[in-house]
Amino acid sequence: MQWEVVIGLENHVQLTTQSKIFSGSSIRFGAEPNTQASPVDLALPGVLPVLNRGAVERAIRFGLAVGAKIAPQSVFARKNYFYPDLPKGYQISQFEDPVVQGGTVSFAYEKDGKLETKTVNLTRAHLEEDAGKSLHEDYAGMSGIDLNRAGTPLLEIVSEPEMRSANEAVAYAKALHSLVMWLGVCDGNMQEGSFRCDVNVSVRPVGQKEFGTRCEIKNLNSFRFMEEAIHYEVRRQIELIEDGGKVIQATRLWDPDRKETRSMRTKEDAQDYRYFPDPDLPPLVIGQDWIDRVKAEMPELPGALRARFTGEYGLPEYDSLVLTSSKAMAGYYEAVVAKAGKENAKAAANWMMGDVSSTLNREGVDIGDAPVTAAQLALLLKRIADGTISNKAGKEVFAAMWEAKSDDENLADTVIDQKGLKQISDTGALEAIVDEVLAANAKSVEQYRAGKEAAINALIGQAMKASKGKANPAQVTELLKQKLAG
């Protein structure tokens, strides 16, 4: 039987406010346990929650970016369940009336060696508070409770179940991760839990309209873990069904050491949480003037920037997609082009996607921390474009610039001089080299004049060898053609 995979994501995005969603407590990561939990976070008798305006504005910003409806009035509810690290015995969230309704996220991904684009619809994005954290590893035979995280503001972004492979799901999650960082609503630090992914996975026979029974894989904090967990869960469900069993709706956890999902609890439905409006919080009313103010402060969005890169700089769609993968990457690229000139825009894109990206990946460095500045790279591109050095020599210069970690804006010129990498562009010197090569390679000359145009490549190679790689290849080629035609 042929199976179809159905995937939907719920992403918990920690918002970049200074304080919690209903109290003034700090949300600074790494503080000593239980030093950032106020009476409001602990739900002590007599306390009242007060909504953080900054959290609402970040939700509005996200909603505008994905083309969603911003609800003019939304309601906070109590989601009732028991966890040792949930001091209230309930979580304040939104149920029937979320602040962000609908919207879409578009992304690109590779399929069968080709670049594909896809748009996934969002169901909603709602504000809620985070729970605390149970600590199981630090205490022998016991668990500790750290309530510092209790009350941290979250935006939970829920997609429609429209993804059909692990590849699509990971690409969607990466696009969402990039977007919330681009907007400044989340710092995106997955190791610290700022961006967490819950993946709902089910399978169904190809052609069947009804969804299969889903299982939710909770709290994935790595794109690699997400991909591995989806592949495992898909295999598990298919094998279970084909062996005559039934998939039980459940919440599962990914064990990265054993490379398997394991059951955590039977999956609850909405009625199990006994949602009801929180009596301590009035409805959240968002007027159009508030939305307009947030909209006026929005940065240029990735989609608009991609279109501008393609139109203004003449870049292929793929280049624009890669260069707008993060705000920092796009900003670095534009800074390079501003210094190097639009005539070098495509060369700048090639270097950004090639040597720059590969070096960043190898060194484990973000573009914002690259030791080669945009101005330094721009000068290097100019020196390649004006023939001062070859593209091959440019790679050597770039590597030296990276190691130098200098603020000197003219670093490329300094390295070129130190290494003696300037190309020979003097016509007289090049003509002497070409004459020697022609005299020493009569067979290649004869083949070229007999109509075998590829023979000139051997002559170019000999000229470059004679000049120890310093001859300007374009000039060498032109001189050879002139002399061979004579």
Would you say residue 266 lies in a domain? yes
Structural tokens at position 177: 């991760």
For residue 451, the enclosing domain spans 427-485
Mean pLDDT of 268-291: 90
Would you say residue 293 lies in a domain? no
At residue 72 the predicted structure's pLDDT band, cuts being 50, 70 and 90, is very high
Considering the domain architecture, whether residues 95 and 233 belong to the same structural domain is answered as yes
Which of these three, 370, 400, 419, is where a domain ends? 419
Rounded Cα–Cα distance for residues 190 and 178 (Å): 12
**pLDDT top residue among 207 and 116:** 207
Would you say residue 113 lies in a domain? yes
pLDDT digits (tens, 9 = 90+) for 433-476: 888 888 888 888 888 887 788 878 888 888 888 877 777 777 78
Would you say residue 252 lies in a domain? yes
At residue 426 the predicted structure's pLDDT band, cuts being 50, 70 and 90, is low
Residue 129, pLDDT above cutoff 80 = yes
**Residue with structure tokens 């004049």?**
449
What's 388's DSSP letter? Answer: S
Considering the domain architecture, whether residues 153 and 43 belong to the same structural domain is answered as yes
Rounded Cα–Cα distance for residues 164 and 202 (Å): 10
The predicted structure's pLDDT at residue 392: 87
Which ranges of 49-205 does DSSP label H, i.e. alpha helix? 53-65, 166-183
Widest distance between CA atoms in the chain: 99
Considering the domain architecture, whether residues 365 and 322 belong to the same structural domain is answered as yes
Residue 225, pLDDT above cutoff 90 = yes
Residue 65, pLDDT above cutoff 80 = yes
Phi, psi of 267 (to 5 degrees): -70, 130
The predicted structure's pLDDT at residue 168: 97
By the 8 A CB rule, do 52 and 61 touch?
no
Would you say residue 116 lies in a domain? yes
Would you say residue 294 lies in a domain? no
Rounded Cα–Cα distance for residues 128 and 203 (Å): 30
Considering the domain architecture, whether residues 438 and 362 belong to the same structural domain is answered as no
Which ranges of 368-454 does DSSP label H, i.e. alpha helix? 374-385, 391-404, 411-419, 427-440, 442-449
Q: Of 71-85, 127-141, 289-303, 339-353, give the lowest mean pLDDT range.
A: 127-141
Would you say residue 295 lies in a domain? no
Residue 141, pLDDT above cutoff 90 = no
Rounded Cα–Cα distance for residues 4 and 164 (Å): 7
Residue 270, pLDDT above cutoff 70 = no
Considering the domain architecture, whether residues 123 and 157 belong to the same structural domain is answered as yes
Considering the domain architecture, whether residues 269 and 310 belong to the same structural domain is answered as no
CA-wise closest residue to 319 among 329, 311, 309: 309
The predicted structure's pLDDT at residue 409: 93
Would you say residue 114 lies in a domain? yes
Residue 443 maps to which CATH number?
1.10.10.410
How distant, in Å, are the alpha carbons of 135, 142, 145, 283 from that of 139?
8, 5, 11, 42
At residue 423 the predicted structure's pLDDT band, cuts being 50, 70 and 90, is confident
Residue 78, pLDDT above cutoff 90 = yes
The predicted structure's pLDDT at residue 74: 96
Vertex 482, ends 481 and 486: CA angle to 5°?
Answer: 110
Considering the domain architecture, whether residues 167 and 62 belong to the same structural domain is answered as yes
Which of these three, 259, 288, 317, is where a domain ends? 288
Which of these three, 402, 419, 436, is where a domain ends? 419
pLDDT digits (tens, 9 = 90+) for 147-173: 999 999 999 999 999 999 999 999 999
The predicted structure's pLDDT at residue 257: 92
Structural tokens at position 456: 């000139």
Considering the domain architecture, whether residues 354 and 409 belong to the same structural domain is answered as yes
- For the chain, the straight-line distance linking the first and the last C-alpha, in angstroms and rounded, comes to 71
Mean of the per-residue pLDDT values for the chain? 92
By percentage, how much of the chain surpasses pLDDT 90?
Answer: 73
The predicted structure's pLDDT at residue 389: 87
How many domains does the chain fold into? 3
Rounded Cα–Cα distance for residues 196 and 256 (Å): 16
Rounded Cα–Cα distance for residues 212 and 230 (Å): 15
The predicted structure's pLDDT at residue 357: 94
Considering the domain architecture, whether residues 228 and 266 belong to the same structural domain is answered as yes
Considering the domain architecture, whether residues 16 and 164 belong to the same structural domain is answered as yes
One-letter amino acid of 323: L
Considering the domain architecture, whether residues 383 and 431 belong to the same structural domain is answered as no
pLDDT digits (tens, 9 = 90+) for 281-290: 999 999 999 9
Considering the domain architecture, whether residues 415 and 433 belong to the same structural domain is answered as no
Q: Enter the pTM of the model.
A: 0.83
